[in-house]
C-alpha cells in the first residue's frame, strides 16, 4: 500500500513534493561546496566545481521528477493495456458488462442533461442568486402577482424589497400590411435594470423620469431583435420605431443572450405605471410581477422575515387591507422552475437506481470472473506482484469497463435526448438548451469513475485476496463460495429497487390513464384558435372591432362556429375576480378557491361544445341590450346557491363600476389549467357588457376559436383575408389548435410518466438479467453437488424445486424490502399521482405478480439446465 500511497501523494501534493526535492538537491550542492572548500578550494572555485560535478540543479530535478511521474503514468498505461488485453480475451463478458453499464450511464447522462438544462442553468443576470420574485400572498392562501396600489404601498415601506421592479408582458404590431408582425417584449419599471444587474451593450437604460406616465416613449431592443429586424444597425440609437401607431425612441440594445424568462423577448419599454385608469385604483386587478435584488449582506430568509414583520404591522394597522397579507419571496431560479424541480429530481433518483442495478450486475459478473481468474492471480502473486499492485490493476480494469460503458452511454444519451426533445418540447423551460455539453460530460466522467470504483472494489478485494500455495493446488471446486453471500445480497437489492421503480411506474401510468379519461368540459378536436388585438382606432370601443371580425369569419365557407373569448382554457392565462352574490359583499376568506373571470362572446358554449345544464347562453341579441347577463359554471352555482336554481339570481364582480349581472345559464365545469387541475368556480361575462373601467384593459386582445373545416388547406389564409377585410393593419398571432393546448398542458406529466416507465422497464430487465446470471453461475458451481444428489436418488423436480426455490427466496426478500421502499417513493410522488392512492393495491399486486413471474423465468431457465445433469458426468466434472 505504501507505493499506492506515495504515488497518490505525488499526484495530490505534487507541489510540496517538488519543493522537498528541490531543497534536497540544493542541500546536496551546499554539502559538495563545503567538501570542496575543506579540500582547499576558494569559495568561487568550490561552487563552480560543485555545479560541474552535479550537472545543474534544475536538470537533476527534472530527471528525478520525470522518472517518478513517468513511473506512475507507465504503470497506469501498463494496467490499461493489460486490462484491454483481458477484455479482448473475454469478449462476451466485456460486451455484456459494457452494454449493461452503457444503459445505466446513458440513462443517467440523458436525465442529467435535462436537469442541467432546466434546473441548473443560471439566468443571465449579475449575481443571479440574489434576484428574487416577489409575490403577493392572497387571503385564500395562494400567491399572486401584484396590483398597483399594493405594489406602491409596499414600495413605501422601508423593506428589503423597497427597490423591487415591476415587469409585465407587452406586445405590439410592428409594421403594416403584409409586413405587419406581432412582437412581444416587456414593460418594466426603471428599477429593473439595477435589479437584474444588466447594462445595455449599447446606449443606456431608461431613467425614472422616462418611466412616468406621459413621458416620451423609449425602447431598448434585445440583441436578437436588433440583429434580425434592424440588421445590427450601429446607428440605431435615437431612431424612432413606430409600433401600433405610437413612435418609440430607441435608447439602447441589450447584451447578446440577455433574457428575463425565455428567448424571443424582443424589447423592453418603460412600464409607466398608470395613475388614472382602473388598474391604478383596483386592488383586485393583479397584473404584474415584481422582481427584487437582495442586499449582499442579507439572505432570502432574512429578507422574508423582515417582510413578514412589516406585513404583520400593516395587518395590525389595517386588518382589511390586502397589503397585510404579506409577500412571498422566492429565488428567481425556484420561481421559474416551480413544480418541475421535485419531479425532475425524483426522476434523477429513479435513474440513479437503474444505475445501481447495472452496477450490481457488473459486480456480480466480476465476482464470477474473479473466481475464474484465481489461477492467474495466484501466478502473479507467486512471481512477486504485491496485493496492492494487483488490486490497482483490477480497479483499473473496472474503471476502464465503466469508461467504455460511459462512451457507449453517451451515444445512447444523445439519441435518447433527440427522441425526448422531439416528443415533448413545450413542457420544459429552456428546452432548446438541453444537450450533452461540458458540464454533462464532466458529470458522466465523474459517474464513470465513481461507478467503476463502486462496482469494482468488492470484486477486486475478493479477487486479489489470494493465498498462493492454496490457490495453486486448489481446483475451482470450492472457489467462489465466499462470494455467494455477496451475490445473494446484490440480487436482493436489485429486486427491491426494481420493485420500487415498477410501483412508481405503475402509479404514474395509472394516473396518466385516469387523466386521459378526464372530461375537459369542452370538445377540443378541430377547434382552431388564434389571437388578434384591436387596432388603435378601435381603442375606446374594441368590442365593435371584435364583433365585426367574428361575423366576417362566421360567414366564411367551411366554418360552423366562430366564437370569441379573451382567454381560452389551457392557454395558461387564467384571470380571477372575487364576486358578490344577491346584493351582498364579495366573499373572500382563507382557504377558498378564487372565482375565475372569463370574458366571452355569444355562442361561446356552442362553439366549445360545453354542455349547458340550465338556462341558455347569451346570444348576440341578448348582449346588445343594457340588461347585464352572466353564465356561471356548475361549481359556482353549487357554491353560492346550493340546490336552488341559480337562474335569475344576481352576481357582481369586485370591480368598482360593475353592475349586477343576472344569471341566465349554468354551464358544465371546464378544466381551465389542465386535465389534472381542479375545476374552479367560473363566471362568464359578455365582452360587450364589461364595466367601463376595465374595457380598455380587457379588450386589448381577443382569442377567436373556429370550429369547422379547420384542417383544410388554405383555411388559415381565408381567415387572414377576412381579418384584413376588417382592418388591414392587424396581424393574427398565436395560431394554435385547441388539441395542442391540451397536449401542452399535459406534456410534462406524459414526459415524466414515460420516463419513469422506461426506467422501471430497464430496472426490470437488468434485474432479471442479473438474477439469471447469478442462477446460471450457481448451477454451474453446484453441478457436482447436483450430480451427487441425483446419484443418491433426487428426482428432477426436487432439483428444480431446490434451485428455483433458492432464487425465489432471494427475490421474496427483495420484494419485501421493495414494498417498504415503494411506500416511501410513493409519498415523494404526490405531484405525479392523480386520483390514485399511493398505496393503490391493484398496482402493488400487479407489480408483485409480474416481477415474481419475471424472476421465476430467470431462475427456471438455468435450473432446467441443472436437471439435465448426468450424474456420471457431473461427478467427473472439473
Partner 1 sequence: MSRIELLQGTLDMLILNALRTGPDHGLGISRRIHQITRGTFDVRPGSLYTALHRLEEQGWLASEWSDSENRRRAKFYELTASGKKQLQAETENWERISLAITRALRAT
For partner 1, the binding residue among 23, 162, 857, 861 (CB under 8 A) is 23
| Residue of 34, 432, 519, 870 interacting with partner 1 (CB under 8 A) | 34
Selected binder of partner 1 within 12, 13, 30, 678 (CB under 8 A): 30
User: Is 388 a binder of partner 1 (CB under 8 A)?
Assistant: no
Provide the Cα torsion 329, 334, 340, 344; round to 10°: -140
Binding mask 37-76 for partner 1 (x = CB under 8 A): -----------------xx---xx--xx--xx--x-----
Q: How far is CA 527 from CA 92, 301, 609, in A?
A: 56, 47, 10
For residues 204 and 253, what is the distance between their CA atoms, to the nearest angstrom?
Answer: 8
Q: 59 or 298: whose CB is closer to partner 1?
A: 59
User: Nearest approach, Cβ of 44 to partner 1 (angstroms)?
Assistant: 19
- Helix (H) / strand (E) containing 134: strand 131-137
Nearer to partner 1, 55 or 213 (CB): 55
Q: Cβ closer to partner 1: 68 or 552?
A: 68
The H or E element that residue 853 is part of is helix 841-867
Residue nearer to partner 1 on the CB measure, 3 or 865: 3
Query: Which among 32-40, 150-158, 323-331, 366-374 is the span making contact with partner 1, rule CB under 8 A?
Result: 32-40
- The interface mask with partner 1, positions 244-283, x = CB under 8 A, is ----------------------------------------
Task: Check binding of 415 to partner 1 (CB under 8 A).
Answer: no
Smallest distance, partner 1 to C-beta of residue 54, A: 5
CB nearer to partner 1: give 77 or 411: 77
Question: Is residue 375 part of the contact set for partner 1 (CB under 8 A)?
Answer: no
Q: Among residues 74 and 870, whose Cβ is nearest to partner 1?
A: 74
Distance CA 141, CA 589 (A): 9
Which of 13, 16, 27, 209 touches partner 1 by CB under 8 A?
27
Whether 493 contacts 360, CB under 8 Å:
yes
Regarding 387 and contact with partner 1 (CB under 8 A), the answer is no
d(Cα 289, Cα 330) in Å, to the nearest integer? 12
C-beta of 2 vs 276, nearer to partner 1 = 2
Give the range of 23-31, 76-84, 368-376, 619-627 binding partner 1 by CB under 8 A. Answer: 23-31
CB closer to partner 1, 29 vs 700: 29
Which of 25, 166, 347, 404 forms a contact with partner 1 (CB under 8 A)? 25
Least separation in angstroms between residue 334's CB and partner 1 is 51
Helix, strand, coil content of the chain in percent (nearest 5): 55, 15, 30
Distant-in-sequence, close-in-space partners of 414: CB < 8 Å, separation ≥ 6: 110, 436
Nearest Cα neighbor of 183 from 196, 201, 171 is 171
- H-state helical runs in 465-586: 468-473, 484-516, 542-554
How would you label 448-465 residue by residue, b for 16+ Cβ within 10 Å and e otherwise? beebbebbbebbbebbbe
Instruction: List all residues 6 or more positions away from 410 whose beta carbon is below 8 Å from its beta carbon.
Output: 106, 109, 436, 441, 444
Does the footprint of partner 1 cover residue 78 (CB under 8 A)? no
Helix (H, G, I), strand (E, B) or coil at 270: strand
Task: Name the residue nearer to partner 1 (CB basis): 30 or 525.
Answer: 30
**Number of Cβ within a 10 Å radius of residue 647:** 16
Of the listed pieces 26-34, 488-496, 567-575, 665-673, which binds partner 1 according to CB under 8 A?
Answer: 26-34
Instruction: Give how many residues touch partner 1 by CB under 8 A.
Output: 25
Q: Closest CB to partner 1 among 30 and 45?
A: 30
Q: What angle, 0 to 180 degrees and rounded to 10, lies between the N-to-C axes of helices 14-38 and 57-89?
A: 140
Among the candidate windows 24-32, 343-351, 414-422, 799-807, which touches partner 1 by CB under 8 A?
24-32
| Least distance between partner 1 and beta carbon 80 (Å) | 21
Report, in Å, the least distance between residue 60 CB and partner 1. 5
Residues 6+ away with beta carbon under 8 Å from 156? none
How many whole angstroms separate alpha carbon 663 and alpha carbon 612? 13
Q: Which is nearer to partner 1, 35 or 430 (CB)?
A: 35
- Of the candidates 466, 458, 456, the one whose C-alpha atom is nearest the C-alpha of residue 383 is 466
Q: How far is the CB of 7 from partner 1 (least distance, A)?
A: 7
- Considering beta carbons, is residue 67 or 873 the nearer one to partner 1? 67
Residue of 11, 12, 31, 345 interacting with partner 1 (CB under 8 A): 31
- Rg of the chain over Cα atoms, rounded to whole angstroms, equals 37
Do the bridges between strand 218-221 and strand 181-188 make them parallel or antiparallel, or are there none, so unpaired? unpaired
Instruction: Determine contact, residues 618/598, Cβ cutoff 8 Å.
Output: no
Nearer to partner 1, 19 or 827 (CB): 19
Question: Nearest approach, Cβ of 51 to partner 1 (angstroms)?
Answer: 11
Q: Measured from the CB atom, is 6 or 728 closer to partner 1?
A: 6
In angstroms, the first-to-last Cα distance of the chain is 36
Q: How far is the CB of 43 from partner 1 (least distance, A)?
A: 14
Which helix (DSSP H) or strand (DSSP E) does residue 665 occupy? strand 661-667
Q: Where are the alpha helices (DSSP H) in 782-840?
A: 783-791, 796-828
Joined together, the cell numbers standing for residue 832 give 405525479
* CA distances for 565 relative to 605, 637, 704, 764, angstroms: 10, 21, 7, 49
Exactly one of 7, 140, 650, 718 binds partner 1 (CB under 8 A); which one?
Answer: 7
Residue 382 contacts partner 1 per CB under 8 A = no
CB of 460 to partner 1, least distance (A): 21
Q: How many of the other CB atoms lie within 10 Å of CB of 445?
A: 12
The rounded distance, in Å, linking the Cα atoms of 445 and 109 is 10
Contact between 2 and partner 1 per CB under 8 A: yes
Does 593 bind partner 1 (CB under 8 A)? Our answer is no
Of the ranges 15-23, 123-131, 331-339, 346-354, which one interacts with partner 1 (CB under 8 A)? 15-23
* Residue 70 parent element (H or E): helix 57-89
Contacts with partner 1 by CB under 8 A lie at 2-3, 6-7, 20-21, 23-25, 27-28, 30-32, 34-35, 54-55, 59-60, 63-64, 67-68, 71
Amino acid at each position: 500500500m505504501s507505493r499506492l500511497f506515495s504515488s497518490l501523494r505525488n499526484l495530490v501534493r505534487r507541489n510540496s513534493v517538488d519543493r522537498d526535492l528541490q531543497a534536497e538537491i540544493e542541500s546536496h550542492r551546499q554539502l559538495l561546496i563545503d567538501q570542496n572548500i575543506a579540500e582547499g578550494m576558494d569559495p568561487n572555485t568550490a561552487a563552480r566545481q560543485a555545479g560541474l560535478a552535479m550537472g545543474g540543479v534544475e536538470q537533476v530535478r527534472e530527471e528525478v521528477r520525470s522518472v517518478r511521474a513517468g513511473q506512475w503514468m507507465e504503470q497506469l498505461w501498463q494496467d490499461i493495456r493489460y486490462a484491454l488485453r483481458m477484455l479482448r480475451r473475454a469478449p462476451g463478458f466485456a460486451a455484456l458488462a459494457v452494454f449493461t453499464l452503457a444503459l445505466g450511464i446513458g440513462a443517467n447522462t440523458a436525465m442529467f442533461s435535462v436537469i442541467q438544462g432546466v434546473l441548473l442553468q443560471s439566468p443571465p443576470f449579475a449575481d443571479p442568486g440574489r434576484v428574487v420574485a416577489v409575490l403577493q400572498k392572497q387571503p385564500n392562501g395562494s400567491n399572486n402577482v401584484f396590483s398597483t396600489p399594493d405594489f406602491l404601498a409596499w414600495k413605501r415601506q422601508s423593506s428589503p424589497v423597497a427597490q423591487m421592479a415591476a415587469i409585465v408582458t407587452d406586445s405590439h404590431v410592428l409594421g403594416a400590411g403584409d409586413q405587419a408582425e406581432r412582437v412581444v417584449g416587456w414593460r418594466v419599471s426603471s428599477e429593473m435594470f439595477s435589479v437584474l444587474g444588466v447594462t445595455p451593450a449599447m446606449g443606456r437604460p431608461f431613467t425614472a423620469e422616462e418611466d412616468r406616465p406621459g413621458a416620451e416613449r423609449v425602447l431598448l431592443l434585445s440583441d436578437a431583435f436588433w440583429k434580425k429586424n434592424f440588421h445590427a444597425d450601429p446607428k440605431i440609437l435615437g431612431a424612432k420605431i413606430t409600433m401600433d401607431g405610437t413612435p418609440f425612441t430607441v435608447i439602447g440594445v441589450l447584451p447578446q443572450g440577455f433574457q428575463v424568462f425565455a428567448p424571443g423577448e424582443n424589447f423592453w419599454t418603460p412600464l409607466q405605471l398608470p395613475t388614472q385608469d382602473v388598474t391604478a385604483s383596483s386592488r383586485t386587478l393583479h397584473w404584474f410581477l415584481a422582481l427584487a435584488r437582495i442586499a449582499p449582506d442579507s439572505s432570502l430568509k432574512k429578507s422574508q422575515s423582515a417582510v413578514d414583520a412589516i406585513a404583520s404591522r400593516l395587518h395590525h394597522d389595517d386588518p382589511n387591507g390586502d397589503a397585510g397579507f404579506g409577500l412571498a419571496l422566492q429565488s428567481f431560479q425556484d420561481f421559474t422552475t416551480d413544480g418541475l424541480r421535485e419531479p425532475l429530481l425524483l426522476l434523477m433518483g429513479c435513474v440513479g437506481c437503474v444505475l445501481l442495478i447495472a452496477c450490481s450486475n457488473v459486480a456480480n459478473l466480476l465476482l464470477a470472473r474473479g473466481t475464474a481468474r484465481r489461477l492467474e492471480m495466484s501466478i502473479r502473486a507467486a512471481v512477486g506482484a504485491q496485493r496492492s499492485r494487483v488490486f490497482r490493476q483490477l480497479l483499473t480494469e473496472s474503471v476502464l469497463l465503466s469508461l467504455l460503458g460511459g462512451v457507449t452511454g453517451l451515444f445512447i444519451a444523445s439519441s435518447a435526448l433527440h427522441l425526448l426533445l422531439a416528443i415533448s418540447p413545450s413542457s420544459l423551460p429552456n428546452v432548446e438548451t438541453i444537450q450533452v455539453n461540458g458540464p454533462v460530460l464532466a458529470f458522466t466522467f465523474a459517474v464513470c469513475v465513481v461507478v467503476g470504483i463502486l462496482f469494482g472494489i468488492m470484486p477486486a478485494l475478493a479477487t486479489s485476496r489470494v493465498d498462493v500455495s492454496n490457490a495453486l493446488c486448489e481446483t475451482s471446486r470450492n472457489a467462489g463460495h465466499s462470494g455467494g453471500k455477496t451475490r445473494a445480497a446484490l440480487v436482493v437489492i436489485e429486486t427491491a429497487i426494481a420493485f420500487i421503480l415498477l410501483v412508481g411506474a405503475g402509479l404514474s401510468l395509472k394516473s396518466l390513464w385516469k387523466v386521459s379519461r378526464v372530461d375537459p368540459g369542452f370538445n377540443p378536436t378541430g377547434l382552431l384558435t388564434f389571437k388578434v388585438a384591436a387596432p388603435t382606432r378601435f381603442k375606446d370601443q374594441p368590442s365593435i372591432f371584435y364583433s365585426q371580425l367574428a361575423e366576417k369569419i362566421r360567414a366564411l365557407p367551411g366554418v360552423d362556429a366562430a366564437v370569441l373569448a379573451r382567454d381560452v382554457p389551457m392557454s395558461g392565462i387564467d384571470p380571477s375576480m372575487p364576486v358578490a352574490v344577491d346584493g351582498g359583499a364579495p366573499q373572500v376568506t382563507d382557504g377558498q378557491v378564487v372565482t375565475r373571470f372569463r370574458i366571452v362572446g355569444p355562442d361561446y358554449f356552442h362553439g366549445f361544445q360545453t354542455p349547458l345544464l340550465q338556462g341558455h347562453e347569451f346570444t348576440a341579441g341578448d348582449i346588445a341590450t343594457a340588461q347585464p347577463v352572466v353564465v356561471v359554471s356548475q361549481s359556482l352555482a353549487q357554491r353560492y346557491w346550493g340546490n336552488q336554481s341559480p337562474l335569475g339570481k344576481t352576481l357582481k364582480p369586485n370591480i368598482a363600476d360593475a353592475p349586477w349581472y343576472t344569471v341566465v345559464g349554468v354551464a358544465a365545469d371546464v378544466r381551465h389549467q389542465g386535465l389534472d387541475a381542479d375545476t374552479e368556480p367560473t363566471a362568464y361575462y359578455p365582452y360587450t357588457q364589461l364595466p367601463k373601467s376595465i374595457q380598455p384593459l380587457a379588450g386589448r386582445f381577443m382569442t377567436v376559436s373556429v370550429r369547422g373545416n379547420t384542417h383544410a388547406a388554405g383555411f388559415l389564409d381565408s381567415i387572414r383575408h377576412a381579418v384584413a377585410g376588417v382592418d388591414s393593419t392587424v396581424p393574427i398571432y398565436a395560431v394554435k389548435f385547441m388539441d395542442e393546448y391540451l397536449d401542452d398542458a399535459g406534456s410534462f406529466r406524459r414526459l415524466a410518466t414515460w420516463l419513469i416507465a422506461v426506467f422501471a422497464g430497464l430496472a426490470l430487465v437488468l434485474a432479471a438479467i442479473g438474477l439469471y446470471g447469478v442462477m446460471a453461475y450457481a448451477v454451474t458451481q453446484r453441478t457436482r453437488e447436483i450430480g451427487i444428489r441425483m446419484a443418491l436418488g433426487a428426482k428432477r423436480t426436487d432439483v428444480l424445486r431446490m434451485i428455483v426455490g433458492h432464487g425465489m427466496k432471494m427475490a421474496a426478500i427483495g420484494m419485501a424490502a421493495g414494498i417498504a421502499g415503494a411506500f416511501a417513493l410513493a409519498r415523494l410522488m404526490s405531484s405525479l399521482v392523480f386520483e390514485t392512492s399511493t398505496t393503490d393495491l391493484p398496482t402493488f399486486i400487479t407489480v408483485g405478480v409480474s416481477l415474481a413471474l419475471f424472476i421465476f423465468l430467470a431462475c427456471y431457465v438455468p435450473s432446467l439446465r441443472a436437471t439435465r445433469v448426468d450424474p456420471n458426468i457431473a461427478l467427473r466434472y472439473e
